[in-house]
Structure 1
């Protein structure tokens, strides 16, 4: 099992890293003065405004994303590790209800291992979809001027 875990983690990291880098590049490429508003003020007057605005936005987005992706809580990790056998057992018993799985994998222990593996894969896929949705939301996010907001309230 440790070899399967190492192979899965390295394969997943390789695939997800490529996807996240592509999403970040699309997000940075989509940033610019149009996303910051028409009257965006830039502190550096002698700099090229679109370049400075895009650089500032990209730096802020990169800092925000690092804090978003690197957030791991020790308690959450410990609780997840303690609950993993129970989750594997639940998934394995659920798989036992299907005759296709029950005939191919008659032993309950092996169904529990398969259920735990399926849970990890589904959890990783759900996290990837969540990350994609967050990137998509950030890509279309823009800063609105007060006049736009004021007109909408009235």
Structure 2
């Protein structure tokens, strides 16, 4: 082979190597372009000059600023910031590194302690508010029922209040509300004896026992139990029979049939109506129980205007207790009268004939 042929062969070989190197560079650049594509903002090297970051071992690439913003949004959507944010493809947890700041760490510890203490402080505040409210109502009930003089002698003791007063006063509104049911009757029979300490005194002249307020308050739960037992044995069956007759009236039966036909369509509305009715009954029970001392005092003051009553009963406590008993009797009598009148009206109902 001549020298000229060898030169042509060398030139051709150099050109092939140059073309292969150029192809490899173009392939590498295309791979780089494909790899450097932010999966968050979909930007590339040609779109922005932001710094790139590889935070996990998968093929996802992202700008550091975009990834930090995405991690912040992920933490805001999580219930707890202690759960690490992971890569959406390979599930590798992203690791964050912050500059050391002792003051910031100290403030963070303090903020965490406050977050843990706040529920307990809230509970203590609500408990203290409940205790103050119930104690204030207990003082009001004592003064209302016993009168100013006897109430002051009970509350203004020379010694600081003992545990009986601190427990007894807040128990008054709770006991009044609970007394509207029969579930706590054994507790009502024992609690006054524990809190009041009933004492019996003898009149030095007649040697007859003096009925003190402590004895009256201790015996009053037994009087209540006796009245309720009498009511349940004699009056309750009659009232229950009237309720059944009112519930089984033609109008009620028609309403029940209509409700059965519309059960699927109006089930949610009936449930809401029943819930509203239960809340109304509960509110009526609570308000009625808490207003009982004031109503008893008002009835006792009304009875005191009659000389035949005030001449026989002069103590405000006994007047108010008797007024409360009369009010309860009148309330039960009015309720029975109302049901009886409704039943009588229902029996006399007739359909008006069409006049056409």
TM-score calculated relative to the size of structure 1: 0.61
Label 1:59 to 1:6 Cα distance change in 2 as closer, same or farther (>3 A): same
Other-structure match for 2:291: 83
User: Offset of 1:23 from its aligned partner?
Assistant: 4.7
Label 1:95 to 1:24 Cα distance change in 2 as closer, same or farther (>3 A): closer
Label 1:127 to 1:59 Cα distance change in 2 as closer, same or farther (>3 A): closer
Does the alignment pair 1:18 with 2:211? Answer: no
Farther-moved stretch of structure 1 (127-136 vs 6-15): 6-15
Question: What do residues 92-130 of structure 1 show as CA deviations (whole Å, max 9, x unaligned)?
Answer: 111111111112111011100000100010111111110
Other-structure match for 1:8: 227
Unaligned runs of 5+ in 1: 29-54
User: Offset of 1:141 from its aligned partner?
Assistant: 2.3
Higher relative contact order (CA 8 A, sep 6+): 1
Other-structure match for 1:137: 345
SS at match of 1:141: coil
Bigger Rg, structure 1 or 2: 2
Other-structure match for 1:60: 253
Distance in 2 between residues matched to 1:57 and 1:114, nearest whole Å: 43
SS at match of 1:74: helix
Backbone CA RMSD of aligned residues: 3.2
Q: Does the aligned pair in 1 maintain the 2:242–2:339 contact within 8 Å? A: no
SS at match of 2:291: helix
When you count helix as a share of all residues, which structure comes out higher? Answer: 1
Distance in 2 between residues matched to 1:123 and 1:56, nearest whole Å: 26
Question: What do residues 6-63 of structure 1 show as CA deviations (whole Å, max 9, x unaligned)?
Answer: 11112122222333356578x59xxxxxxxxxxxxxxxxxxxxxxxxxx9959839x7
Unaligned runs of 5+ in 2: 1-219, 257-273
Other-structure match for 1:103: 311
Label 1:7 to 1:138 Cα distance change in 2 as closer, same or farther (>3 A): same
Label 1:95 to 1:59 Cα distance change in 2 as closer, same or farther (>3 A): closer
Label 1:58 to 1:110 Cα distance change in 2 as closer, same or farther (>3 A): same
Other-structure match for 1:124: 332
User: Offset of 1:82 from its aligned partner?
Assistant: 1.2
TM-score calculated relative to the size of structure 2: 0.28
Aligned residues: 115
Distance in 2 between residues matched to 1:80 and 1:125, nearest whole Å: 16
Question: What do residues 74-98 of structure 1 show as CA deviations (whole Å, max 9, x unaligned)?
Answer: 0001111111111011011111111
